[in-house]
């Protein structure tokens, strides 16, 4: 009743007149306690609001799977809010996100444990890499529903094999170029043209 009773109004006032649109969060609601059914009909003009809420509702599945794992829950909400195919996230950034007061070594253990818990529930897969003195987490995929998609090849594209004598940093750079659609032939043409 509280949701259905919430009124939203949009108004636009000019010097001569005012235009106003008034609606409710829910167009109609039906619930049956005997059958344990709740049906909410949204106002289609508020689709952007419901798109955001849908994402929040998906998060509850992982939050419930992470009961009493507050660090993993906090990292989950942070990682889920990132754009698709995020850049590698530094260990320092994740430490700052958790806002822990313990020594850095202990904070690093907490972050790694939380990331492993996210992997265990099936939310994500990642690789921890080092660039110089900076530790980074490369997130390969995220699954808000905690279930693999029907076509896992779309989720985990196979990178081309790199020669064994390439350093991990160079392999990461090659993978980034591949992600951007830049081939080694493109680079070769670019350097020859200079």
What was the pLDDT predicted at 154? 55
The strand pairing partners of 137, in sequence order, are 89, 128
Is the pTM above the cut of 0.85? no
Position 165 pLDDT exceeds 70: no
Over residues 160-173, mean pLDDT: 65
The percentage of the chain sitting over the pLDDT mark of 70, rounded to a whole number, equals 81
Q: What is the pLDDT of residues 73-111, one digit of tens each?
A: 999 988 988 888 889 999 999 999 999 999 999 999 999
120 versus 170: the higher-pLDDT residue is: 120
Q: Give the Cα separation of 5 and 11 in Å (integer).
A: 19
What was the pLDDT predicted at 173? 80
Dihedral sign for Cα 114, 116, 118, 120, please. Answer: negative
Rg of the chain over all Cα atoms, to the nearest angstrom:
24
Q: What is the mean pLDDT of the chain?
A: 80
Q: Could you give all domains of the chain from N- to C-terminal order, each with its CATH number?
A: 69-146 (1.10.10.10)
């Amino acid at each position: 009743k509280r949701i259905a009773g919430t009124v939203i109004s949009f108004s636009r006032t000019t010097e001569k007149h005012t235009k106003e649109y008034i609606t409710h969060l829910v167009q109609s609601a039906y619930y049956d306690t005997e059958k344990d059914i709740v049906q909410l009909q949204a106002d289609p003009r508020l689709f952007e609001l419901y798109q955001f809420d849908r994402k929040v509702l998906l998060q509850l599945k992982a939050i419930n799977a992470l009961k009493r794992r507050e660090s993993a829950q906090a990292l989950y909400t942070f990682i889920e809010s990132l754009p698709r195919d995020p850049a590698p996230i530094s260990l320092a950034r994740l430490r700052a996100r958790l806002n822990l007061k313990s020594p850095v070594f202990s904070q690093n253990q907490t972050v790694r444990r939380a990331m492993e818990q996210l992997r265990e529930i099936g939310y994500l897969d990642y690789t921890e890499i080092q660039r110089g003195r900076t530790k980074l987490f490369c997130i390969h995929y995220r699954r808000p529903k905690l279930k693999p998609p029907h076509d896992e090849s779309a989720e985990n594209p196979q990178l081309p094999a790199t020669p064994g004598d390439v350093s991990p940093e160079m392999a990461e750079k090659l993978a980034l170029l591949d992600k951007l659609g830049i081939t080694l032939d493109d680079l070769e043409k670019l350097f020859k043209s200079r």
